Chain A
């Protein structure tokens, strides 16, 4: 059986990404799960090993020139995106953002060309990416444009088998009600349904969260549940989607915690992220939903407060890598 081919990029050079990669790759079982292609500056991967106090071997290759998986060990595609002395440690900078974005571009192109199957990336710093010309509210929207994706996209978050998708994401809370419409809810439900099916669940059990407190309390605290969410859920059920709701958002996660639900469709960013990060701050993974191949990353950020100290916890990065491997193995055409 061929192994999944996973491209790994460092993310923001001033954050904990390089250190996490060193910690991940220094564990022998990592390379057993996949053929790994590191994409980025050689000195960034050396920096990570120094920060982590953990070593791994890599061999240089050019993936555009023949089958890069031939050969032993971890492959490295050297890039030059930043000079070693231009890295700003634990600080937002144009140079850091540019490096992160250039390595992302390379990885996206390799995946689009079928040279790698999936991407796992170290944490990005959004402000640095925006300075470097991201031009979108987040990296997901940037990737979608880069790849010409026209369908619905949503960050999916996952922890210990619980998945969430969102009807709205990186927008002000006051704008959220404008996003709560039949089209977006339907697409968010189909997206998580498809990703879970393609990841090996034959009939994912899905629940939709309400927008308002107490799911609107029969219209006393808001009418979106009655006017929009309930009719949309009913329509989806008639379309044979295994979904229910809307459920009050302060109890819907208890269903997932109890193992009764695989995926929860949330109306806004913090509705899902508060619960998931509470349950497993150190293990949560973000999957870029709607992209034509698996792209995963730890749910946490660059952790500038501890970057360079060697204290970064590798569990979420490990989980991100494992989920990418599993998704490639189970990936079925949608």
Chain B
């Protein structure tokens, strides 16, 4: 399994798509943090969530994971992947873990960059800064969300092989379905895997609308488990004719 995971991580970092999307995630995160730190005057209570919670890695790793797994079908690399590792379930596990690791790594890199930028600007302006413990906890929560959404993306792609359909599908879910459910039926919307549960894990937003961190993590794992089981069943059954 270690070899398969290492191979999947090489796949992740040997295409331009990863670095392009990771670059966009870092730039947008820094832009948001920099603008808020420069243009607003956060209080001691709000500075952590106002300035340092702008990590956008989760949505990008979700897209990268979908591109990664559906790309196996699109470019037919699934054949060479399964010739090297014929156990299809182990292949899917390795892919899932690889994107979870990639998500966490990207999120941590962004957290470090935001912390350096945010602390520098806030200190220069004489504004309050959060403690190191609070920053570390926030970084860990963001990293957990990125890891979980990376794994979630692999599950989505394992079920929906068509790359554009899978990507458009999660955007519709994230931008239309989940916000509507959170607004109109919060008791249902709080189970949403792309906005609601991540918000619960990070600890932003109204506490009544979202689950607390631990149950939110468990519910995300349940989502991933269901998608993984369905995707694995499909992958096991499929003949690879081309």
Q: Do A and B come from one complex?
A: no
A residues with a Cβ closer than 8 A to B are none
B residues with a Cβ closer than 8 A to A are none
